[in-house]
Amino acid sequence: MQPDVADALRHGPFHYALRVAIKARGLPLERLRQRLVAAGAPVGMATLSSWQSGRRRPERPESMDAVVVLETILGLPQRALVDLLGAPRRRGPGPRVTKAPRPFGQVLRQAEPVVELMAEMDWRDDRLRVVSAWDLADVAAGSRLVAVETSVVLHAVTEVDRYLTVYYGAPGIDLRETVQFEALSDCRVGRVLQARNHPLLVAELLLDRPVPAGETVIVRFRVTDIDGNSDTEFCRFLRAPAQQVAVEVRFAPDARPQRCWRFVREREGWPDQRQDELRLGPSGHVHVVRNAVQPGFVGIGWEP
């Protein structure tokens, strides 16, 4: 498999991965349509075009059957495209980025430190909504979380010039000595504050330009932790609905777990609403992609 195809399948989204895979295969859309018809999974030219442009996505059972056939025609691994679609979207109105976020206390068990640090930075996070988010977490020997790279698409509810992110580290140390925030695009690192008596940091990412209300911005950044917090799961939490969340965990060769699973959880400490086994391939990567995500947690757990 070509590297650009493998990368697109790993990170998504679906329409981009489909477009890259079609290009790599060298099949015109008309020829692709003919092969789908011959395989008993007919799809129109306009539909194929809208799938690879992102204007529409497969949702009906017959469309999902066609995606499975597409994987075979394009020479892709089984479920490579299907998994990028995540759960089917609900019919009717989906989550709205204008809906007020839940209070931190309705998602996190220890919300006070986060609220206090954001107040110290004079920040109300109802100014921004997360439209979509992608997290890539690196796990080293000892089940240590040593780095997280994040891309978020943000929608400005009011004009904003910054974005705040929360990081939980190893307890009992000065995280500012071991954790580094690095801006990768469209932002720069501002203040970084550590909570008193809690192993968490809140970092301020200053946007390259003020974003007017109603517009979007894509922010990319990386967090590295030289000590690393030994853990058995990594997840993203949301306080408001989002269109898509992708979480990927990359295990070092000497950190490969015995088993992995993906989960959805409404609140910290609550039982999982959904849990599915994940198969760890030779690359040491596993991921979960969910669409129309409700407030709560989406993540990956593992048994070291």
Whole-angstrom Cα distance, residue 219 to residue 206?
10
Give the pairing of strands 187-194 and 259-265. unpaired
Q: Tell me, which fold does domain 104-303 have in CATH?
A: Immunoglobulin-like (2.60.40)
How many C-beta atoms lie closer than 10 Å to residue 241's C-beta?
Answer: 19
Closest-CA residue to 290 (of 90, 16, 4, 71) = 90
The neighbour count for residue 110, using CB atoms within 10 Å, is 13
Domain topology for 3-85: 434 Repressor (Amino-terminal Domain) (1.10.260)
Per-residue pLDDT of the chain (304 residues; tens, 9 = 90+): 788 888 888 877 888 889 999 999 898 989 988 998 888 888 888 889 889 888 888 888 788 888 888 999 999 988 888 888 865 554 444 444 446 677 777 778 778 888 888 889 888 777 889 999 999 999 999 999 999 999 999 999 889 999 999 998 877 778 888 899 999 999 999 999 998 888 889 999 999 999 998 899 999 999 999 887 788 999 999 988 999 999 999 999 999 999 999 999 988 888 888 888 999 888 899 999 999 898 999 999 999 9
**What are the residue ranges of helices labelled H in 74-103?**
82-85
Q: What does the domain layout of the chain look like in residue ranges?
A: 3-85, 104-303
281 secondary structure, DSSP code: -
Task: Say how many C-beta atoms besides its own lie within 10 A of residue 170's C-beta.
Answer: 17
Global pTM value: 0.66
